[in-house]
Structure 1
């Protein structure tokens, strides 16, 4: 989840946005002003924001629900006046799940401007084991929301961050959900998993022609390792690789040679893949992974899917200097859809999902927020 707190909005930035809003029509003025309040609220930290002064605090309700025999738990955030539709908000990798304080703050902000938020608990994202199971769980959250939450008019929006973008889009393209999702907000998402893995491990992005990229975040390879361990059948290899990954996440110089020497025929290919630094070796190393893991990897790869099945509008927000998933992925997602269906906002202050914008960077985030608010009214 994004650490969006302590965002520096200068008086010049605030004044510029208000001036531009005054030059717009009445509807655009209100929407632009609300977008400004949203961003200021997210940056307020422990201090009271303008939005908090002007709105009542939404209520939060815990619900248990089942879809086709599958049981789930979620939080529903009810605004005082539900003047926008429902939104399923997918949390990212966090052991605190739907109760991650940053996610709670984000959900409260969106609910203050009229969205009814449904935030499901996704066990895979809590233990870093992302898979197509998460796509199914997100699709079930869409089914529940459109069937049970009053005032959604059988449609809901969907928002996801980083690695959760793939499962969210897959969920939005299923036969009985495609017509239920009005729009998707995707922050720092991926398109081609092989290219993403190549960048994370070697620094090369073959989908980003002519892009000058910063070096990848050193911790990303170990997060990727954690996300795939659950597909290994060898429990000893699972435990060894989890220990390696967690130690490296805490200290990238940690010595793990003893654990590496004990890896068996399942764990060794996965370790070799995430520690590889030769871009030309990636495909060959992928081919050596256990078959179950390869199948899941392919199933989550958006570049292998027919995106024509997506009916929803897609709002893409991505930072040009993202060191986990390069911006080329969002650009390719936009290009893969019919003209006008996807809209990319390149926010230079967005480093993967951490935000610290200046004046011009805040402008792009403001434009994206205005777009989300507008779509929520339809």
Structure 2
């Protein structure tokens, strides 16, 4: 009888330890570069710079080796940041994850670093998955992936790629989008058509200019690119800055993109997208998870989103969860998030703690070679 209870007791101890570690993770993230209980109790991971290639495509990445590998591999995809893989917040997160047993790979993604996101990032994430799961190496045969905000779309599409879908155990998506058209509609007009319409929290004024910067590389006219970049950066620095002179000098493609970004009428969004350069329209469609068959996703999906998100509404994570088979995706709605940053005061920290605990549990199963709960058969 005593022997038969042993596995249950050990399982209970592991669960209690994981609950405690989730609290330590949240405390460490809150502490930033300051000391924390997790920092005092654990050794930091060792960072190694990587250079790797696939079919002539060259990449750089950082690999964080944990003191003890007990949760497997995780690829951390950065969002829009000019610092790329060395963004201080990203480095802090990678170190925190390393302290609790993940081997963390942070690839440098040029399009997310210079605001020129495209399907090139999908290819880069697929190649990172290939590297992290390469056969014959010490790394496990599967990896998890975590992404935030506008990086969630490319990450999901990469995780569905038939060459690597079976190598991804779970995906963590924080504040991500599902429908590209509805995301653009909300950012520019404030209507959340996939959710609660005009009753959604008002979008951040800066978001439209970030979207503009992310699509400039598709314009063939160099003057249009220069003018629109100047407009976007001036409006980011000062929302009321005068840009009328630059707008008058725009060519047809530049005017079409500017018209979309500054439009405030929800019903015009589809028509304005249709007037964009064909290459840009094709890219928007290619980066739209709602336009793809999600049955190619073999990984478990962990969605974390704030109900008051003013960049990408929570309706996107809800729709993404509902688009997958029951049990494959789990959504944690937490007021502790202000888009992808933890809000002051840790309001509703309970939900965020449950999300972290769930990720730690999935990591344990990955390292043990077990199938994550809720994965497709």
Counterparts of 1:238 and 1:348 in 2: how far apart (Å)? 38
Counterparts of 1:37 and 1:119 in 2: how far apart (Å)? 22
Give per-residue Cα distances to partners, 1:144-163, cap 9 Å, x unaligned.
00006844431000000000
Structure 2 counterpart of 1:222, from 209, 214, 225: 209
Against the structure 1 CA distance between its residues 53 and 149, is the aligned structure 2 distance closer, same or farther, given a 3 Å change threshold? Answer: farther
TM-score, normalization by structure 1? 0.92
Q: Mapping of 1:179-198 within 5 angstroms?
A: 179-198=166-185
Pair 1:252-2:236 in alignment: no
**3-state secondary structure, aligned to 2:97:** helix
Equivalent residues of 2:253, 2:276 under 8 A apart: yes
Equivalent residues of 1:348, 1:357 under 8 A apart: no
Equivalences, count: 356
Equivalent residues of 1:191, 1:330 under 8 A apart: yes
Q: Mapping of 1:100-249 within 5 angstroms?
A: 100-147=87-134, 150-209=137-196, 212-249=199-236
Give per-residue Cα distances to partners, 1:101-129, cap 9 Å, x unaligned.
11000000000000000100000001011
Equivalent residues of 2:143, 2:169 under 8 A apart: yes
Counterpart in the other structure of 2:288 = 301
**3-state secondary structure, aligned to 1:92:** coil
Counterpart in the other structure of 1:10 = none
TM-score, normalization by structure 2? 0.92
Give per-residue Cα distances to partners, 1:29-77, cap 9 Å, x unaligned.
0100000010001111342111111111111000100012110000000
Structure 2 counterpart of 1:350, from 337, 353, 362: 337
Counterparts of 2:267 and 2:356 in 1: how far apart (Å)? 40
Structure 1 runs of 4+ aligned residues shifted over 3 Å read: 148-152, 209-212, 357-360
Q: Mapping of 1:339-378 within 5 angstroms?
A: 339-356=326-343, 358=345, 361-378=348-365
**3-state secondary structure, aligned to 2:134:** helix
Counterpart in the other structure of 1:42 = 29
Pair 1:291-2:278 in alignment: yes
Deviates more, 1:202-211 or 1:166-175: 202-211
Q: Which runs of 5+ in 2 are unaligned?
A: 1-10, 366-377
Counterparts of 2:189 and 2:349 in 1: how far apart (Å)? 31
